Structure 1
Amino acid sequence: MATQIIIVLVLTMFINGMTTLSYAVRLVGVKTGRIAITFSLFNILVLLSRTANTLQAPLLAKTVEQDLKHGVSSNTGIFRYIILSCTIGAILGALLIPTFQRLLSKAVSHFSVHKSIPRLFYVGLSGAGMQFVKESMRMPTKEQFLELPAHRDIPWRIFIYNVLASAIITISVLSCVYAAYLNPEYRTTASNLSGVINGLATVLMVLFIDPHLSILTDDVVLGKLSEGTFRRFVSYMVIARITGTLLAQLLLLPCAQLIAWLAEKV
């Protein structure tokens, strides 16, 4: 069981790290002027993240099944650690944004010339590619944190929506799996209700957050908004992402209770 939990924790950190790095994609897009290519290349990493996500739930569900067989009716500790790994993954992703920007910008430039994904991977894994990765390692500077815009310049409504969406996404699968402890007879139904929780986050993302980020991205490309202002706004969205994973600690049990109730009523 310990091995399963370690794998889940690693996968969770990877998934959340990729999610946080997605904010840097827009920065690279506006900097290179090749937004479509930038998102296309990043989707390769998203595919890896989604593959990891499909492995996460079964491994965690198996742990719960083993607990139930041994008469364990609650095991919040594991779930708290998993949510903590979400926070750690988001923080690591935030710290890697400067490095990721340089690497993705280089990848976009290379792909624009050669137009070959296999060649891109070959160059990236070559000695010269590894040397470039080493030289590109950067940490966020103190100035980047100090240059965050004043409170009045931030659309706090979007910030709060992002916090809520991040919290909901963090616990969507976890609350459904934990619901098996609360209502073991309907644990199969509960495990399939993650879409109900994810649906709330999707509504917030699609209706409010993504359109706002897209408008800002276009404004930078059109010269209506400075790249520095956009970069600082993205920094706040990253902070919202990390804050959302912290809020998830409070929402885990209430959402699990809701899922356990829905599993019996649907």
Structure 2
Amino acid sequence: MDLISTKLIIISVFLLIVTTIETLAYSTRLSGARVGLIASALSLFNTMIIVSRFSTMFQQPMTGKLIGEAPKVNTLDFIQDQYRILLGVTTLGVCIGIFLFPTFIAIFSRAITQLSLEKGSIFTVIKKWSNKQGLQKAIACIRLPRLSYLKGINKRTFPKRIFVINAVITAIYTVGVLAALYASVIVPPEYAPAAIMSSGIINGVATILLTLFVDPKASVLADQVVKKQNKYVYLKSYSFAMVSSKLVGTLLAQVIFIPAALYIAWFAHWI
């Protein structure tokens, strides 16, 4: 059986899109600060995050089905290789998101303003951006990444603690489902359901940690920038820390994949 199957390609494309959207969501706060509409920016941010995370629920059953289609010989190695490809695709999605970051800061600046004018109707905004005129506006917003965008970011403005926290959380969230599915293969059949269901706990904990330690600080910082109580460069540094730590987190997921699967296998036995 081929390592790179049609199903794996479909899952990879889906995962690539979702990860790119998640990465681009971090640009909404910068856009909101630029146009002075933080509440609208947060609404757009939450919408993108919810949609992307809900979308992963459709990807999970297909990912699990890869186990059933694995060959009977060297099953664990085969599944591990396929799952590592998916982890690599996640990293690629973050890279694409980072590359498109300047473009979407410009796009979201317009979209947030439009969202405010349309009284919060996201569907109306999408409709207006889906026509020919909207596409022309989007094309006009294209910006290539440049080192000048990092101007002002230094050790003093860069949030090191947030970088580490988000990298760890991203690694846990990225590897959660795949590690749980892999663990279901290495445990006895009677423990497999417990191992699979553990992914919900892992992702739930990661989401809670993100909500407690990362998101509030970003929101407060964005408010301070709009109120002229803090400099824009601090928000820019924060956003840079978020996307760069997300990239590091996906790479870290490759490292902790097997240890995480073994831990889940132990947990499935223990409970």
TM-score by length of 1: 0.91
Assess, with a 3 A threshold, how the Cα gap between structure 1 residues 112 and 207 changes in structure 2: closer, same or farther.
closer
Distance 1:45 1:157 in 2: 25
Superposed, 1:149-164 pairs within 5 Å as 149-164=153-168
* Partners of 2:181 and 2:195 within 8 A in 1: yes
- Within 1, Cα distance between the matches of 2:80 and 2:180? 13
Partner of 1:56: 59
Which of 250, 253, 258 is the aligned partner of 1:253? 258
Following superposition of structure 1 onto structure 2, how do residues 183-262 of structure 1 map, counting pairs within 5 Å? 183-185=187-189, 186-262=191-267
Gaps of 5+ in 1: none
Q: Give how far 1:251 is off.
A: 0.5
Write out per-residue CA displacement over residues 88-131 of structure 1, whole angstroms, 9 at most, x where no aligned residue. 10111111111112222212222322334443233211111111
Per-residue CA deviations over 1:4-39 (Å, capped at 9, x if unaligned) read 111111121122112211211111121222222223
What is the distance in 2 between the residues matched to 1:132 and 1:200?
Answer: 40
3-state SS of paired residue (2:236): helix
Partner of residue 105, structure 1: 109
2:81 aligns to what? 77
Equivalent position of 1:38 in the other structure: 41
CA distance in 1, matches of 2:43, 2:226: 18
Aligned residues: 265
Q: Could you say if the C-alpha distance between residues 214 and 121 of structure 1 is closer, same or farther in structure 2, counting changes exceeding 3 Å?
A: closer
For residue 20 of structure 1, what is the amino acid of its counterpart?
T
Structure 1 residues 109 and 212, CA gap change in structure 2 (3 angstroms)? closer
Structure with the higher fraction of residues in helix conformation: 1
What is the one-letter code of the residue matched to 1:245? T
Report sequence identity in percent: 33
Structure 1 residue 218 displacement after superposition: 2.1
| In structure 2, C-alpha distance between the alignment counterparts of 1:152 and 1:47, rounded to whole Å | 32
Among residues 6, 20, 23, which one is paired with 1:17 in the alignment?
Answer: 20
1:140 is the counterpart of 2:145? yes
C-alpha separation between the residues in 1 aligned to 2:159 and 2:45?
Answer: 27
Tell me how far 1:179 sits from its aligned partner.
Answer: 0.8
Residues 53 and 184 of structure 1: is their aligned pair in 2 closer, same or farther, counting only changes over 3 Å? farther
TM-superposed deviation, 1:66: 2.4
Is 1:168 the counterpart of 2:192? The answer is: no
CA drift of 1:247 comes to 0.6
| Aligned-partner Cα distance in 1 for 2:122–2:210 | 30
Distance in 1 between residues matched to 2:44 and 2:219, nearest whole Å: 18
| Partner SS state of residue 193, structure 1 | helix
2:134 to 100, 123, 129: 129
Q: CA deviation at 1:42?
A: 4.0
5+ residue gaps, structure 2, are none
Please give the TM-score of this superposition, normalised by the length of structure 2. Answer: 0.89
Q: Distance in 1 between matches of 2:67 and 2:181?
A: 8
More displaced 10-residue stretch of structure 1: 97-106 or 158-167: 97-106
**Are positions 1:8 and 2:20 aligned together?**
no
C-alpha change, 1:195 and 1:71, in structure 2 (3 Å) is: same
The answer (yes or no) to whether the contact 1:160–1:240 under 8 Å persists in 2 is yes
Which amino acid in structure 2 is aligned with residue 36 of structure 1? A
Superposition deviation, residue 64 in structure 1 = 0.6
Could you tell me whether the CA contact under 8 Å between 1:220 and 1:227 is conserved in 2?
Answer: yes
Which amino acid counterpart does residue 145 of structure 2 have in structure 1? P
2:68 counterpart residue number? 65
